[in-house]
Chain A
Amino acid sequence: MSTGLSLFIIILTLANIIACYVLIKWSSKQKANEAAEGNVTGHTWDGDLQEYNNPLPRWWLWLFYITLVFSLVYLLLYPGAGNFKGLLDSNQMNDYEQEMSEAKTKYGPIFAAYTKQDIPTLAKNPTAMQAGQRLFLNYCSTCHGSDAGGARGFPNLRDKDWLYGGDPVAIKASILNGRNGLMPPMGAALGSGGLEEVTAYVLNLSGRKADPNFVEAGKQRFDSLCAACHNTGGTGNMALGAPNLTDNVWLHGRSEGAIKETIAKGRKGIMPPHKEFLGNDKAHLLAAYVYSLSQ
């Protein structure tokens, strides 16, 4: 906030408080044309319903003054008056960090104890897996689904088909460091005829119906353009995250149209790194939970 704006806010806030004080002071005194206490004010409703000027108790007036004092004390202690941070130096970021560290001291040891066990052992521990499921529902289910079955573009974690490896180390590495998958667009290199042929070959790899006239030509194109990543015969490469194309598992859609689009336009898949966010212990437990799903 600029100094000018800060000053403007301070002046406006204080002026308001002073104005409230003046208003209370002014309105607590009787005006010349007003009815005295205990008298009728002269207001009449429904013909005969009259209003008396009955005084409020004095402490009621003090309540007003107390609110003014309260607001001044508040402005002194907490942020509110422009750039002034308040004497308590309280802000939401501090509060958040404090609560997080409290939670860490409270729950940290539970996760730390799990980290001492290796992932396959942990995956057989029902209590740990309940906790793992809760973590998964909190942090992972938004993309991978509550049942870890994935969605289009987000891998299914329940099957035995792994892009980057399904051993405990690989799963934990995926969670901690994230993954960046990239399928480059091949549409321009293949041309429309080439696209038909490669699509037919890819369908054929999973044993699905494809035009036999295209399959053979598709294989040749595949070997020269695609095999570098997807391996000869389309078995994939876990080091690159290049999917196995022979298992009828389709990350970006199983229909012929979807496969064509994948080849022509390419795909991008990002698993964000969670090392900073979750820390090693939670990632360990999550890795065990994910590992348990496909056992």
Chain B
Amino acid sequence: MGTPSDQIENSSSDFYAKHKKVYPREVHGLFASLRFSGVLTLLGLYYFIPWMRWDGHQAVLFDLPARKFYIFSLTFWPQDFIYLAALLIIAAFALFFFTALAGRLWCGYACPQTVWTEVFLWMERWVEGDRNKQIKLDKSPWAKNKLILKSTKHTLWLLFSAWTGFTFVGYFTPILELGASLLQFTLGPWETFWIIFYGFATYGNAGWMREQVCIYMCPYARFQSAMFDKNTLIISYDDDRGEPRGSRKKSADPKELGLGDCVDCTLCVQVCPTGIDIRDGLQYQCIGCAACVDVCNEVMGKMKYAKGLVRYTTENAIHGIPSRILRPRMFVYMSLLIFLSAALVYSMLIRLPLELDIIRDRNALYRETNEGLIENIYTLRIINMDEQAHRYTLTAGGIEGVKLILAKKDLYAKSGEVITIPARIQIDPAYLKKIGYDIEFILTATDNSELQVIEKGRFIGPLK
């Protein structure tokens, strides 16, 4: 790496490098359009979803104080967190699958860091002009014009970030209420904190940190590279075709000049959001955004050369070995992905909107009634997660002769209500053959016998 003179220059006494700003040049083409539509769709969803209504409530609302999570017609409770775990596992396998198949697709087109940075770049270009103007402006001394442009840019960024922070909190506090209290300056301390924090993180990450997030901070960036193999789609420069690189007249025949197809215009370096030169080969900084593919194709078009000097290809393909899409790991990821998704959908479909918690009293193992019966005490918690109110019947089983006595006869729970009832289980000691028994509590909705939960409990009697 580098010439000896470079090394001497580089061997400064400091181990930490001063950050060099990357000025990505604007790019047009197939992949830029793909990313453009990705940004529009994803950010559109992000900013729009909190304003949607569904069945009289906000369509997507994570109500933390009430521990209820509304996602359209579904209402999740903390007990349903297993679904979130399943969703994250599915997301992980999707990442494995798509990364092994086509490299860092996530990074290039869908990652929030990429998506928000893209919008911030648009704003920057709109205010300061293209790459050359930006570089010139940064080098120029602080004068009135520079001050105006820079403050306009930062104001735009900050407004957009504040809106982002507001939208984020709008997923947790009903956004209409949040908007009202924002206008009346009556935001709570935590809402204020999160709007500012999330807004500031957006401003800092998309405005200032940009590619440094991917290079220094992001763990996915590193472990995605570990999932590459020789058949994974990567963005690569075709060395054999391009070298030796060199500038030439459009009319010149490269073969005569002894040159490859690369005209060394450095546009691929200029468009790169992480500031690398793709012609040096695959690098960990490459987020797979394909900006260099788009811009090189444009140049090749102008030169009337074949497109694809920089292209999506595989390590095998570039060495003339046919690449295989259907590899064993793809089948493994794919089948796991399908299996887990199907399991998640199935378990959501059969999800019962009813839960019964049995909490056994811990003060005394058992109690002897005045009639000589052995009694255990439980606190029952019935959680009605359904959209409608229900009335329930509760029975107990598991040992012969068991009798359930409830403190309240009428088990009625409104939608979303949790009712707490002390309960006693009595049994004649003659039935008890051992110290402890597993018993069952069976809770059934009176209007729907399929709405039934069987919960295990423990009954403890005296040592004979």
Interface of A toward B, CB cutoff 8 Å: 27-30, 36-40, 52, 55-61, 133-134, 137, 141-143, 145-152, 154, 248-250, 253-254
Contact = CB atoms under 8 A, between A and B. Distances in A.
Given A249-B370, A250-B370, A56 B216 contact: yes
Interface stretch (B5-13, B93-101, B175-183, B268-276): B5-13
Contacts, number: 100
B18 A58 contact: yes
A30 B13 contact: yes
30 contacts: A28-B15, A29-B14, A30-B11, A30-B13, A30-B14, A30-B15, A37-B17, A38-B2, A38-B10, A55-B16, A56-B16, A56-B216, A57-B17, A57-B18, A58-B17, A60-B216, A145-B361, A145-B367, A146-B361, A146-B377, A147-B407, A147-B423, A147-B424, A150-B367, A151-B364, A152-B364, A154-B364, A248-B370, A253-B368, A254-B372
Contact of A36 (B11, B359, B364): B11
Nearest to A206: B370
Nearest to A147: B422
Interface residues of B, number: 33
Of B10, B16, B359, B375, chain A has the most CB atoms within 10 Å of the CB of: B16
8 smallest beta-carbon distances between A and B, as pairs: A36-B11, A151-B364, A147-B422, A55-B17, A146-B422, A146-B379, A58-B16, A61-B16
B420 interface: yes
Contact of B367 (A30, A39, A57, A152): A152
A60 B209 CA distance: 12
Contact of B15 (A27, A142, A145, A253): A27
B19 interface: yes
A36 B1 CA distance: 12
Contact of B377 (A28, A59, A145): A145
A248 B369 CA distance: 10
Interface string B252-281: 000000000000000000000000000000
Nearest to B419: A130
Contacts of B375: 149
Contacts of A152: 364, 367-368
Interface string B9-37: 01111111111000000000000000000
Interface of B: 1-2, 6-7, 10-19, 212, 216, 359, 361, 363-364, 367-368, 370, 372, 375, 377-379, 407, 420, 422-424
Given A142-B363, A147-B423, A149-B424, A254 B12 contact: no
Name the prevailing secondary structure of the B interface residues.
mixed
A249 B369 CA distance: 9
Contacts of B359: 146
B11 A56 contact: no
Contacts of A38: 1-2, 6-7, 10
A161 to B, nearest CB: 9
A138 B246 CA distance: 82
Contacts of B368: 152, 253-254
A137 B7 CA distance: 74
Contact of B13 (A29, A61, A137, A249): A29
Of B6, B12, B19, B363, chain A has the most CB atoms within 10 Å of the CB of: B363
A253 B368 CA distance: 8
A178 B15 CA distance: 71
Given A134-B420, A250-B370, 10 more contacts: A37-B10, A37-B12, A38-B10, A39-B10, A40-B1, A60-B216, A145-B377, A147-B377, A149-B367, A152-B367
A145 B6 contact: no
A203 to B, nearest CB: 13
Contacts of B19: 57-59
Given A149-B367, A254-B368, A56 B420 contact: no
A30 B15 CA distance: 6
Contacts of B364: 145, 151-152, 154
Contacts of A253: 368
Nearest to B360: A146
Contact of B420 (A40, A57, A137): A137
Given A137-B379, A141-B361, A36 B10 contact: yes
Nearest to A55: B17
A234 to B, nearest CB: 16
A61 B15 CA distance: 9
A56 B372 CA distance: 77
Nearest to B379: A146
Given A147-B407, A152-B368, A57 B10 contact: no
A146 B420 CA distance: 10
A249 B423 CA distance: 21
Contacts of A154: 363-364
Given A145-B361, A149-B377, A36 B216 contact: no
A253 B359 CA distance: 25
A39 B422 contact: no
Of B1, B15, B18, chain A has the most CB atoms within 10 Å of the CB of: B15
Given A141-B361, A151-B363, A52 B1 contact: yes
Contacts of A60: 16, 216
Contacts of A147: 377, 407, 422-424
A133 B16 contact: no
B16 A146 contact: no
Contact of A37 (B15, B212, B377): B15
A207 to B, nearest CB: 12
Contacts of A137: 379, 420, 422
A40 B1 CA distance: 9
Nearest to A253: B368
Nearest to B422: A147
Contacts of B16: 28, 55-58, 60-61
A62 to B, nearest CB: 9
A38 B407 CA distance: 76
B461 to A, nearest CB: 14
